């Protein structure tokens, strides 16, 4: 499917302007749109995010990926929570105006920190999306699996899709499964055997990076269609 790719400049209140990329099919798109945020140590052009967004766009979904302001301005330290949330909100508002009223369901997706911030906003009623998709949820800091970032997840009533690697130092699988068992909302977990926090797998798995990304896109596509159509 031929895609339209549009580079965006999105104002974040008085804090600055960040970049985004909107990809959508040239033909009529599906009525489910995704907004994708990056993790703390990368940007919107990291291979996982670009493969994910282009893969879903090729399947008919309009997808907008964006940078947080600290990344946009070349800083390494993530913005404060307030600024991260303001950026998410500004991009969401922009997407609603850019893509228009032809969207029935909005999905907030994110790699690690990007997904965590979106989920915290949803739990507080600050981001009116229809679902959440996590490309590696940072359940706890590396080396401290008892310090869970889970409290807000139990307040969420929107559907959630989690992708998790079994070697992720920020998401112990046993802890994750216990958290998922307590969620109120409908949810799905897709496990990537041998995957780390960015879903890199050992060579012994016999799978390439693109094959892993292909699995993620396929599962996301199936979940989106089953849940929102």
Q: What is the pLDDT of residue 99?
A: 86
Q: What is the pLDDT of residue 101?
A: 72
Q: What is the pLDDT of residue 65?
A: 98
Contact 8, 98 (CB under 8 A): yes
Q: Compute φ and ψ for 66, nearest 5 degrees.
A: -150, 165
Give the model confidence (pLDDT) of 121-171 as tens digits: 999 999 999 999 999 999 999 999 999 999 999 999 999 999 999 999 999
Q: What pTM was estimated for this model as a whole?
A: 0.97
* pLDDT lower than 70: segments of the chain: none
Q: What is the pLDDT of residue 139?
A: 98
Q: How far is CA 155 from CA 125, 128, 141, 152, in A?
A: 10, 14, 21, 6
Q: What is the pLDDT of residue 84?
A: 98
């Amino acid at each position: 499917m031929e895609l339209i790719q549009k580079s965006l400049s999105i104002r974040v209140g008085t804090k600055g302007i960040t970049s985004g990329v909107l990809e959508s099919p040239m033909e009529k798109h599906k009525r489910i749109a995704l907004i994708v945020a990056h993790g703390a140590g990368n940007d919107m052009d990291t291979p996982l995010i670009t493969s994910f967004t282009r893969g879903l766009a090729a399947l008919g979904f309009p997808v907008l990926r964006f940078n947080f302001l600290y990344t946009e301005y070349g800083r390494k330290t993530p913005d404060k929570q307030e600024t991260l949330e303001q950026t998410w909100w500004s991009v969401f508002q922009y997407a609603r105006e850019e893509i228009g009223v032809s969207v029935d369901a909005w999905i907030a997706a994110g790699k690690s920190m990007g997904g965590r911030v979106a989920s915290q906003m949803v739990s507080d009623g600050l981001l009116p999306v229809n679902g959440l998709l996590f490309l590696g949820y940072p359940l706890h800091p590396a080396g401290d699996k008892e310090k869970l970032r889970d409290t807000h997840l139990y307040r969420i009533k929107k559907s959630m899709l989690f992708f998790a690697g079994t070697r992720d130092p920020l998401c112990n699988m046993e802890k994750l499964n216990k958290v998922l068992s307590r969620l109120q909302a409908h949810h799905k977990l897709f496990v990537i055997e041998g995957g780390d926090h960015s879903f890199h797998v050992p060579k012994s798995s016999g799978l390439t990076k693109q094959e892993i990304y292909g699995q993620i896109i396929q599962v996301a596509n199936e979940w989106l269609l089953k849940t929102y159509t």
